[in-house]
Amino acid sequence: MDKAQILSEVCHLMAVLFYDPEEFLAGEERMVWSEYHNAVAAADPPMVEVYRALQQATTTVDLTVLRVDYAALFVGPGELRACPYGSVHLEKGYQLYGETTRGVAELYAQAGLRLGAESATVPDHIAVELEFLHFLLHRMASGETSPPAHLYPPFLQRFFQPFARQLADLLIRRAETDFYRLLGRMLQRLTVVLARTVDLPPAGADSRS
């Protein structure tokens, strides 16, 4: 499998794991963990060990406990333990909807993507940024020229990486459950892997590192 496609699947997985855990651990949409195992293993062997531990953590934690931790970290009320918005980490003064938020939204627009005016989704939420990486990497793997591949390096280096590194550290230090501490470790490993991909070759080229 092409390196870009592998990383596209891993970014999609990570985006899902930043949703409310009830969305992927309960009901008909319950996540099938094995579907992502090969992609994680191919992307980064150290990450797959964390992924196995993350899956195991879901079998021992009560969903209500997990949702309480999710709220304390990402939603509130009160001060968030690990705020999921990039501008808070990249700008001074705990800034929401700052210059970096607008910068992210502009890159989405250049890629032909727009969040609806009625949407409650913030452009620089970690899950949205991971979905955008999924989108870009999938297009790169398929050889499509739209959106242009030149959007990937600035998004990765200016917006995603510095934000994700800080968020990963906060999750590791401040989460109350093993699940979210392990998610922090997975995000930390993902930043290491993605740091090697700024010059990712186009589909069909030799992708050996």
**pTM for this entry:** 0.91
Domain count, the chain: 1
Residue 200 lies in a domain: no
In a domain, 207, yes or no: no
Structural domain contains residue 199: no
pLDDT tens readout for residues 103-119: 999 999 999 987 655 45
Give domain status of residue 110, yes or no.
yes
* Residue at 201 is within a domain: no
> Residue 117 belongs to what domain range?
3-194
In our burial notation (b when 16+ CB lie closer than 10 A, e otherwise), range 176-193 reads ebbbbbbbbbbbbbbbeb
Q: Backbone phi, then psi, for 149, in 5-degree steps?
A: -65, -20
pLDDT tens-digit readout, 137-148: 999 898 877 677
In this prediction, residue 202 carries a pLDDT of 46
* CATH number of the CATH domain containing 54: 1.10.3480.10
